[in-house]
Each structure stands twice: as C-alpha cells, then as structure tokens.
Amino acid sequence: MPSKTPSTADRMGLCLVISAPSGAGKSTLVSRLREEFADFAYSVSCTTRGPRVGEQDGVHYHFLTREEFLARREAGYFAEWAEVHGNLYGTPRGPVQTQLAQGRDVLFDIDVQGALQVKNVFPTGLFVFILPPSRAELERRLRGRGTDAADVIARRLENAVGEVRQARHFDYLIVNDDLDAAADELRAVYLAGRARSINRPGLLEGLLGQWGGE
C-alpha cells in the first residue's frame, strides 16, 4: 500500500530538488519516491527535445518548439531554464509557487544547471544529488540503455565531469550503487526535510498558545 504524507494543514510546502548526471538512475529513484508518496506535487518541466517512447505531453514534460520556449523565457515564465545536450529545459514558476503556498511538497527532477537556479529562487528547498558509483559504471549504464548514439554517450560522459563537480552545492549526496539502498536514503532525506521547523512556521506558536499566558 502506498504511504500517505501527513496533513498539509499549516505547512509550507517543501521543494525537493533532485539532480544527477545522465545515467545515474535518477529517474528510477524519483519514480519510487512518487509511488510511495502519492500526495507529491510534481514539477513538470518544459523541453524542446522530442518525446521518447512512452512519454506523454503534460505528464513527463511539456514538449515545446524552440520558438515557443524562447517566447516563454522572455516573458519570465520559468523559475529556471537551461540548455542541456542541445535542448532547452525549463520549470514554470507560477504552479510551483501555488503548490508551496497550499502546503504541498513539490518534486523537481531537473539538471544541475536548473537546480542551482532553483536554489536562488527557492533557497529553503532541499537539494539532493544522485551519484554513480564510478565512471565505468556510468558508461555501462548509458550504453546499456541502447537509446543514444556513441557520440551522444561520449558527450554525456564529458558533461558528467562538470555536473559532479557541482554536487558540492547540494545538501545531500546519494551514491546509486545499490538501488534499494539509494531509494531508502532518498526516502529518509525527504522525511527529514518535512520535519524542518522552516516548513512548520505556525506549529510552535500553536502549541504554546495552548498554555495561555505561560
């Protein structure tokens, strides 16, 4: 049975931002977390890349033309945007702010560049970086997917170096060597984040008010 998050009453929503190099297993870990916590509000990003097999517009991404994306960017529509592997990605700002104000936790599954921009917009968020156990294992996973050409894989491996260097700016580092163990760590990080005092601004005052003037 999927777990349910506690009541959102009197809570500020939590931004949980998860990034990783391509092939580190981030998508699988995010899917597991979302399966367990059904109340998660998911941040659906916009992208100019074409949909992969099984991806649906509005569910996995909002698929836009490059012209549509640039127009929205100029209008201040995005909380963050970045160009990755020749494609543009961006997170709409308005829906995120609405969800947080309603006390719903928002999950960001975005690239490193985008995560660091989100950190500027939502500095109280929780930032998690998923690491591969080694370069060799990362390359094995990328080749094993069978979806990318050799030159694309080489570019992703080269980009991974710079992405891993940025991991020092994240709050938590999770090495995805054993999938179950990594999923447990991510779950623990999320639950600990929900308990932060900054996300329960009225809790202490409400409890102390029961003591009257004491």
Does the pLDDT of residue 196 top 70, yes or no? yes
Q: What is the pLDDT of residue 213?
A: 56
Domains recognised in the chain with CATH numbers: 15-195 (3.40.50.300)
Residues above pLDDT 90, as percent of the chain: 51
Does the pLDDT of residue 2 top 60, yes or no? no
Work out the mean pLDDT of the chain and round it to a whole number.
Answer: 88
DSSP structure string for 42-91: E---EESSPPPTT--BTTTBEE--HHHHHHHHHTT-EEEEEEETTEEEEE
Q: Per-residue pLDDT tens for 116-137?
A: 999 988 999 999 999 998 888 8
The Cα–Cα gap between 48 and 29 comes to: 24
Q: What is the pLDDT of residue 129?
A: 96
Q: In the predicted model, what is the mean pLDDT of residues 88-109?
A: 91
Q: Per-residue pLDDT tens for 5-51?
A: 444 457 899 999 999 988 888 999 999 999 999 888 877 889 999 99
Q: What is the pLDDT of residue 4?
A: 46
Q: What is the pLDDT of residue 6?
A: 43
Q: In the predicted model, what is the mean pLDDT of residues 128-150?
A: 85
Q: What is the pLDDT of residue 7?
A: 46
The closest of 116, 113, 126, 131 to 182, measured between CA atoms, is: 131
* Rounded alpha-carbon distances, angstroms, from residue 63 to 25, 26, 90, 108, 168: 22, 20, 11, 17, 31
